[in-house]
Structure 1
Amino acid sequence: MSRIEVPAGPIDYQDTGGDGPALVFTHGFPMNHLQWRKVIPLLDDQFRCIAPTLPMGAHRSPMKPGTDLTHRGQVAILADFLDALDVDDVTLVMNDWGGAQFIVSENLDRRVGRLVFVACEAFDNFPPPQARPAELLCRVPGGARLLMQLLRTSFFRHNRRAWGAVSRTRIPDDVLDTWFDPARLDPAIRRDLRAFATGTPPAKTLLEWSESLRGFTKPALVVWANQDAMMPQDHGRRLADLLPDAHLIEIEDSGTLIPEDQPAHLAAALRTFLHS
């Protein structure tokens, strides 16, 4: 892992390097670069794959006190990260957390050449209904700590009625440990997690931000899962219709975490999109 400083604080990231076109992969809440551990090895022969860990609760060092860690703040950190790496014409790939798309509404997308939406939050589905109890718990004093303790148990990690809803594949516990342990063990990381989890704006604002995608005229790819319990099935088509230059692909036998359930199909879709 590499580390770079941005105004908000240190950002850890994986970077395969090379001279190929740059793909920047964002992650869900609270996840990290390991969300893409099955996909990046299928692409790094031709592409520079960069996977930062944004401050959503799985990061290893806390951000500076007072940093805006809402969706708007996260895309500002993402834009600062791209500036710090000095990469241009990047393909920004998002999965689960869809807030990276707001880099467009915030007019911070000058380094973005393409957008890829992979079974992610969209429109007013921030967060999906299954994640809203966790958001509400984080609003209660001590709630974020309780949430992270619950995520130590097998039921909350793997049951389809709890965290297990994100994937049809059982995610290894050692991966889940890297997602959940930072906020469980460090009160400052837990503070950052709480700031993100409770920072979602009203639905009206989210829909206004979504409308800005009509002005993104560069190529876009929408990859949606046909058995996703969290991201509505019609949102993939709505996104493809909203974006001026978008193509929609539907993936069979997958939940939200397509990189976990169908990494080969996702990597093939990305290759075809980028070569076209």
Structure 2
Amino acid sequence: MLKRLSNLEPRALNAALVTVFGFFVLFTAIHAVGYHHADEHYQIIEFANHFLGNVEGSQLSWEFQYEIRPTIQPLMAAFLISVCKWFGVRDAFDVMVIIRVLTGLFAMVVYLDFIKGLMRRHCSKLTYIWVVGAFGLWYMPYLMIRFSSENFASLFFLLGYSSLILKTNKNFLLSGIFLGLSFAFRFQIGIAIAGITLYLVIVESIKWKYLLQLILGGSLVLVALVLLDRVFSNEWVFTPWKYVQLQLMEGRAAGFGVDPWWKYFEFLWEGLTWVVAIPLLIGIVVLFVKNRTQPFFF
């Protein structure tokens, strides 16, 4: 099977992935029930319903009162719900199926862009093994369809990574917009954005004009984020600063519990089982020993 895959042209491999993996993504999107994490519903869909006038603000989670949640995704959800109603789809479960299908399709476009860049930069049998193995993991279709802030932040970050590191496009302004959108969906991913920026400066010695284009793209998204917050809240608010102020400076986040740094390894072991966790951890160690200047370590 591997030999056949290695003989495929990138277009043929993409077509095979779209056909096989697309089936599982759409099947999962249609048959999935509920949400993976409560925030996916109570801090996105319910916020959207509030914007549409269906839910009172007093019924929403405490984050609504403190204005620390990004509003770009609730506004997206409100738009999609309105479009569905315009086409006569009013059942909440049917609406969520449509949203999950659209999310899954967008995720596939992002991953295919990533694969295209990966194949261009590392065209080898090991790359084919990685692609087939990564897309063959049982939880991938389920995670790809999630209308969660984590999923959308990851997808836009991957778009930015693909364009900057794998050179799928050379438009630094667009790359900055991708990374800015990633931050707009999930503020915590700002740490990863800082890491990839450090990699570009230290390892790739990015030219200042390109770095400024990257920063400009991210800044444009921040301006748009403020405007969207204004549309949603009817007042001027900068949610990233409010988030930092409440969760980090005032320590509200620590009130939900603090775990040691090695807890991530425990999560890997519990969530992926030892069959996947052990090879993954070994691969990370080997990569660190052989090439610790990879963007993964920044």
TM-score between the two structures when normalised by the length of structure 1: 0.25
The structure where strand makes up a greater share of residues is 1
TM-score between the two structures when normalised by the length of structure 2: 0.24
Q: Tell me which structure has the larger Cα radius of gyration.
A: 2
